[in-house]
Chains A and B, each alone.
Chain A
Amino acid sequence: GAGVSQSPRYKVAKRGQDVALRCDPISGHVSLFWYQQALGQGPEFLTYFQNEAQLDKSGLPSDRFFAERPEGSVSTLKIQRTQQEDSAVYLCASSLMGGGARWLTGELFFGEGSRLTVL
């Protein structure tokens, strides 16, 4: 498809389980972001990739969160030993240019998100 694709759309996990969320950005897009959106909140930055390089992971809330983009296209966000406070929608976004938001002069293209519920 032409847009950013995320899977799964919905994930229910038991507390303590590991989860993996996948993002397929728009082909050729250099920048890839992961955001976490809790209920009633705005998206909160988690991490940024420029091609395969993770240039900013300052938003990852704990060492249970890990993201990778090994070939500079598809990215996976992994959450180990999930906790109830991890329940949120995880949004992936991509943009054509590199440099992250510093040089953002146009759109970030967002996926529909993966809604994670931890019981």
Chain B
Amino acid sequence: DQQVKQNSPSLSVQEGRISILNCDYTNSMFDYFLWYKKYPAEGPTFLISISSIKDKNEDGRFTVFLNKSAKHLSLHIVPSQPGDSAVYFCAASASSNSGYALNFGKGTSLLVTP
């Protein structure tokens, strides 16, 4: 069963505007969340992360918001640039988990148009 869900397979945004990518999770034990960005024919690359002790983490144009009560996080990109066009994966892990896996969503394909 999918413990990390990205319900929007795709998103199109105009250059300069804000992109908001959403992610929901079902496992309340998850306490660390990451966003990865993937270009075609390349491996995913780390973008930004957030620990469950925070509700916001900012890095330049990228901000991740975490709402633990709603089991929801979002990635904001502002202003969006054409080079941001890629697939974005949300991922989560649980420090109390007996396993070692990082759990990924299915991804959201972002297209930023000039």
Mark contacts of B1-33 with chain A using CB atoms, 8 A cut-off: 1 yes-contact digit, 0 otherwise.
000101000000000000000000000000010
Give A107 to B6 CA distance when docked, in angstroms.
20
Please measure, in the bound complex, the distance between the C-alpha atom of A48 and the C-alpha atom of B34, giving whole angstroms.
Answer: 18
Could you tell me the distance in whole angstroms from the C-beta of B2 to the nearest C-beta in chain A? 8
Which residues 86-110 of B sit at the A interface, judged by CB distance below 8 A?
Answer: 89, 93-97, 99-107
With A104-B93, A106-B49, A107-B46 as contacts: A44 and B104 at CB distance below 8 Å: yes
- Interface size bucket, B side? 20 to 34
Let me know if A58 is at the binding interface, CB within 8 A. yes
Give bound CA distance, A33 to B46, whole Å.
15
Q: In the complex where A41-B106, A42-B89, A105-B32 touch, is A100 in contact with B46 (Cβ < 8 A)?
A: no
Q: A58-B101, A99-B100 are in contact. List 17 more A-B contacts (CB 8 A).
A: A33-B102, A40-B106, A42-B6, A42-B105, A42-B106, A48-B100, A100-B99, A101-B32, A101-B97, A101-B100, A104-B32, A104-B34, A105-B51, A110-B43, A110-B44, A112-B41, A113-B43
